[in-house]
Homo-oligomer: A and B are copies of this chain.
């Protein structure tokens, strides 16, 4: 029975039952962390042989550089070639960074802020600049823009990507809107992939600001949870067709391909953008870890091999996504107290509780020993206007722990929902 159709008595009895279950759980003294999209131990084991690639004692890049020494600011050529296939740009449209794509994003924002983009006025010289933020979204993106005092404007997500009407309208009028955060494939947290039309409309944007950039964080570009993934359109190709090739910065990494702590991050963009970024990058560093770049290239050999490697990840984590979705389907769907999407890739399941319940659910879980991503984290400034979105990260816990955590989660959803409905009676 749908919870909102219950009368006060029914609700009270429902709540009491659920509360008893909750207290049983609390007594178990669980201690599980589902707050971040961390790969699990089995996933980390998949890449351990990468550490053996230098057993041959060969440390030369194909251009003769000893990768152990200084140099090669934008990456060794074989790494540029290899990763350009992953983010679908040309070999001279890429910079290979260190272990963090977030750091590459921070760098590009910092640079735009302090020095401007391709000769335009630095963002710091405006009284205010703004960013568009499809919501729910990735908390670390929002933290970067907040850090630089950039005002963030929420853009609702639809099943085909962010609301493009709203974006087109806003950017065409306001010269102080300088960028937008996008996770185009398997968005964080909803797992939505942008439709062809969405990508084309992004590529064809005509912002009032010449230095408007789309921060296209394609973090999950090869992170499928299905055997027949649907590719999204190539944004840089589309932008070129639209005569708009400078509009996009593309980011990617192997954090969830090899090692989150020791992967390789990359950035793709038009040649003009890349040249300008490289010039500034060379002030801040002599070169990133080229040994790790070569380690990756030697380990995988080909892009196809890396994609095959991702199937091993899928085999480990797809069942975990199923546990979450099945539990929600069985326990929450009949009660009408939540909505979620079943993603075909990425690292998260986005759960929308009844309005006003997210914080309470997260709190209840925490008090019973399961840490979730903080409610509100998926919105700029940590403010979810309806207090309903919760990001579920199912990859890290072992299957048995995840089952336990989901049992608790649905109990907390039920309890918080009943509390809310009762308070309204």
Contacts and interface: CB of A to CB of B under 8 A. Distances in A.
Interface string A32-71: 0000101101001001100100110101000000111111
A283 B147 contact: yes
Interface string A106-147: 110010011100000000100000000000000010011001
Contacts of A57: 48
Contact of A114 (B67, B103, B113): B113
B68 A286 contact: no
A264 to B, nearest CB: 10
A283 B54 CA distance: 33
Contact of A262 (B36, B68, B113): B68
A102 B44 contact: no
A313 to B, nearest CB: 14
A142 to B, nearest CB: 10
A176 interface: no
A289 interface: yes
A413 to B, nearest CB: 27
B100 A286 contact: yes
Contacts of A110: 110, 114
A23 interface: no
Interface string A14-41: 0000000000000000000000101101
Contacts of A289: 98-99, 261-262, 289, 292
B290 A68 contact: no
Contact of A261 (B55, B67, B255, B283): B67
Assembly of this chain: how many copies? 2
A10 to B, nearest CB: 44
A3 interface: no
A148 interface: yes
A68 B261 contact: yes
A232 interface: no
Interface string A286-309: 111111100000000000000000
A36 B140 CA distance: 37
Contacts of A144: 283-284
A98 B97 CA distance: 11
A292 B113 contact: no
A325 to B, nearest CB: 24
A104 B211 CA distance: 28
Contact of A70 (B68, B260, B290): B260
B38 A259 contact: no
A51 to B, nearest CB: 5
5 contacts: A44-B68, A72-B261, A106-B285, A261-B291, A262-B292
Interface of A: 36, 38-39, 41, 44, 47-48, 51, 54-55, 57, 59, 66-72, 98-100, 102-103, 106-107, 110, 113-115, 124, 140, 143-144, 147-148, 255, 259-262, 280, 283-292
Given A98-B288, A99-B288, A110-B114, 6 more contacts: A36-B70, A47-B68, A67-B261, A100-B285, A100-B286, A261-B287
